[in-house]
Structure formats: C-alpha cells, structure tokens
Structure 1
Amino acid sequence: MNAQVIPGRLIEAPTSDATGMDRRAFGEFIGPRGELASYAFGWTTGSDARAGRLSIGIGAGNPGGATFHAVLFDNGDSYAYSLVDDPFEQVPEGGPDLTAEQSRAHEDLPFIWWVVDQVMARDPRAWWMRHWVTATMCVQTPEVFERREPVLLVCNDADGVWQLIGDTAAGSEGRVGHLSHAVDEDPTLLDILDLETGARGERSGPGGEWTRYPG
C-alpha cells in the first residue's frame, strides 16, 4: 500500500481586526505499513509575516507519542521548515506537545518530516498555503481580474509566471496579482495549484474538471 493523505475539514474565520482570514486545515496520514499520523496546518492572511504553521501528531496514548510543531517560510525560490516551541493545533493521533529541542531529539523526527513532505505534496490546501507563503504572482486577463469571466485556463509558464485566462484570450493588457488571492475568490482553482513549470490546465466551465497538459 502506498502512503495516503486524507484531507479533512477546513476552518476559515476572519481575523479579529477583519483585515484577513485565518485558515486551518486538518487531515490524516496512513503510511505504507499502516503508520498513522494526524496533521494540521494553517496561515493567516492580512499579516506582514508570511509564515505557515504545522502540527503533526503520532502515537496517541503510547510511549513516544507526541505532537511536533513547525513553521513554513519562504526560502528564496522555494520554502523551508523550522521546528518551534509554540504549539499550533491539537490533532487526534498526537501526544504531548514537544518543544523544538525535544522534537530534534525524538527518534521519529525523520518520519515526521516525511509526513510533512507527503502532506505538502498531496493536500491541495497545502498548495494554497505554499503559494501564499512564497507570494506567488500571477497575470490575469482584465476579465478574470474583474470577475467578469471565470478562470478556464491556467498556465505555469516556462519562466515561472502563472497566467489565469477566461473566455477572452490573453492580450497585451494583463493585471498582476497574487495567485493565492485568486484562490480566495475562486476556491475551485485549488486542484490546479500543483502545476509543474511549463504545464497548463483547462476546463470547460466553472467547477468543471481540469484537464492537464504537460510542458
């Protein structure tokens, strides 16, 4: 059996000052040998610090069971993780909250990082968080930017520029914005946020299934 990432609930709430949204996503992980873990990750828009937060829990009720906490941050052309002391969320499979020092000393830390990598690769909400953390930019046609047309074509060009196009073909004019903000307006874009460089995705209408074309 291959490893499984099973996305669960997504909790969204306005921040206390109404300048952004606090998002928290939850899910479960099953390893190829039946290893269990629970996870949570989240991010808060409208804040200056672009950092995601993660919690991974294993071994509930067993010796060695624990919950590990980390932050996700921009690292140039990609992103990186760092263990932290401050707990983020409680998850079903977790045990006591570990500090960063305790996490680094735990024998299962390599497994935890593997779970994190699997979650970031397979949970579409994690792709959304990643693009927010790295402030991925996109070029939108005026019709899409002004929400007069739905997004029907998404391109991740060879130069790493994302394009969002509707019924009207892209012309000389385009509007620049953050890719994560486009998902705020149209969550159906979630399933296409893992496009590789040079690839594109198309659909026939809003909410339709995406067809992918490699670069």
Structure 2
Amino acid sequence: MDIQVVEGTLVEVLRNAVTGMDRRAFGEFVGPQGELASYAFGWTTGADPHVARLSVGIGAGNPGGGTFHAVIFEHEDGHAFALIDEPFARVPQGGPDLTANQARAHEDLPFIWWVADQVMQRDRRAWWMRHWLLSTTCVQTREVFERSEPILWVSHDADDGIWQLVGASDADPSTGKLGHLHHAIDEDQSLLDILDLPRGASATRAAAGSPWQNDA
C-alpha cells in the first residue's frame, strides 16, 4: 500500500487589514501499513515573522493517542518544526492535546515527524504555505502583476530557481515586476496544481480556468 495524503477542507477567514487572510488546511494520512493520522496546518498572511502552525493527531479514543502541536519556520533555505504547548487545531484522529514535553516523551513522536514531512511534500496547500514561509520571489509580466491578464504560462528556471508568470501578451523583460509567489497563489489558487514544477520545467494553459499542461 502506498502512502496517501488526502487533502481535506481549506478554511479561509479574512482578518483585519494588518494580518490579512487566516488559512487552515485539513487532511488525512494513511501509511503503507495502514497507519492513520489526521493533520491541520495554517498560516496568516501579513503575519511577521512568518511562522506557520501544525497539528497531527493519532489514536483517537485509544490509550496512547494524542494530538501533537508544532510551529513551522524558515531554517537554512528550508523549513523546520518545533513542538509547542499551545493547541492549534482539532483533528478527527487526534487524542488529547499534548504539551511539548509530553510530545517529546511520546513513543510515536518519530512517526509524527514522518507524517509531518510527508504532508509538507504531498499536500499542495503545504507547498503554498512553504512559499509563504520562504518568501519565494517570482517575476511577473506587467499585465499579470496588475491583474489585467490571467497567468497562462509558468516556468521554474533551471539555473537560479526563479519562477516566471506570464499572461497572454508577449513577455517584455524590461517591464517585468518582482513579486512574491504566494501572493500570486492568493489571487489564483489554480497555481496549486503546478507548484511541483521542477527546475527547468514549465506549464501552460489556454485560458483562465483551463487545465494546466506541463510542457515537454
């Protein structure tokens, strides 16, 4: 049996003008031996510093079950986790909320970190959150930046890893605008479908709402 990460509900709540949108993404994990876990992660646009939250729950109703809570933060060009006391979210598979010390002493903590890593690799909303955490930059054509054209072509440069977002008009490098990739996803969540583009790859679509096609 393969590992399954099943994306669930995405809850978006508009905050005030300072903090922007609060997002919480929920899902279910099934391991290769049928191991079960539920998870939730979230972030708030405009928050400073950029720190996200994570809850992973196992063993609801069983001895040894619990819900583990952590923060996710930028670390050495990537991300890292740290256990916290404060509960973040309730999840279906989760038992009682565990403090950081209780979680550290729990025999299933290595499994929890493995689940967390799998979620960050496989849940598209986690890719979005990671770009927010890392403040990933992208180059957008003027029309895309000003939202007068939809994004129809996306590339992930092989050399420097820069993302490029282009609309219907011919790209003019002299008018390109530098922005954050997570803001572009905020405006067009269909980009979630291509956030796994490797370096050197690109994707196109015929119009807004059309499916993305990875270029050969």
TMscore range, shorter length: over 0.9
Q: Distance in 2 between matches of 1:11 and 1:106?
A: 30
5 Å-filtered alignment, 1:161-200, equals: 161-172=162-173, 173-200=175-202
Deviation at 1:101, TM superposition (A): 1.6
Percent identity over the alignment is 64
Q: Secondary structure at the match of 1:10?
A: strand
**Does structure 1 retain, via aligned residues, the 8 Å contact 2:19–2:44?**
no
Q: Distance in 2 between matches of 1:84 and 1:41?
A: 14
Q: Secondary structure at the match of 1:112?
A: helix
Q: Secondary structure at the match of 1:160?
A: coil
Q: Secondary structure at the match of 2:57?
A: strand
1:34-57: CA deviation from partner (whole Å, max 9, x where unpaired): 111000000001111101100000
Deviation at 1:16, TM superposition (A): 4.3
Deviation at 1:18, TM superposition (A): 5.8
Q: Distance in 1 between matches of 2:100 and 2:192?
A: 31
Deviation at 1:213, TM superposition (A): 3.8
Listed as ranges, the gaps of 5+ residues in structure 2 are: none
Match of 1:211 among 192, 210, 213: 213
In structure 2, the partner of 1:62 is: 62
Deviation at 1:192, TM superposition (A): 1.1
5 Å-filtered alignment, 1:26-175, equals: 26-158=26-158, 159-172=160-173, 173-175=175-177
1:14-36: CA deviation from partner (whole Å, max 9, x where unpaired): 12456401000111111111111
Q: Distance in 1 between matches of 2:208 and 2:17?
A: 32
* Counterpart code for 2:198: E
Q: Secondary structure at the match of 1:184?
A: helix
TM-score by length of 1: 0.95
* Counterpart code for 2:27: G
Q: Secondary structure at the match of 1:118?
A: helix
**Comparing 173-182 and 73-82, the one that deviates more:** 73-82
Listed as ranges, the gaps of 5+ residues in structure 1 are: none
List structure 1 segments (4+ residues) > 3 angstroms apart after TM superposition: 16-19
5 Å-filtered alignment, 1:1-16, equals: 1-16=1-16
Q: Secondary structure at the match of 2:111?
A: helix
Q: Distance in 1 between matches of 2:150 and 2:41?
A: 29
Q: Distance in 2 between matches of 1:35 and 1:19?
A: 37
In structure 2, the partner of 1:202 is: 204
* Counterpart code for 1:194: D
**Comparing 41-50 and 197-206, the one that deviates more:** 197-206
Change in Cα spacing, 1:138 to 1:15, as seen in structure 2 (3 Å) is same
* Counterpart code for 1:191: D
Q: Distance in 2 between matches of 1:105 and 1:212?
A: 45
5 Å-filtered alignment, 1:17-32, equals: 19-32=19-32
Q: Distance in 1 between matches of 2:19 and 2:94?
A: 32
Q: Distance in 2 between matches of 1:16 and 1:204?
A: 36
Change in Cα spacing, 1:170 to 1:76, as seen in structure 2 (3 Å) is farther
Number of residues paired by the alignment?
A: 214
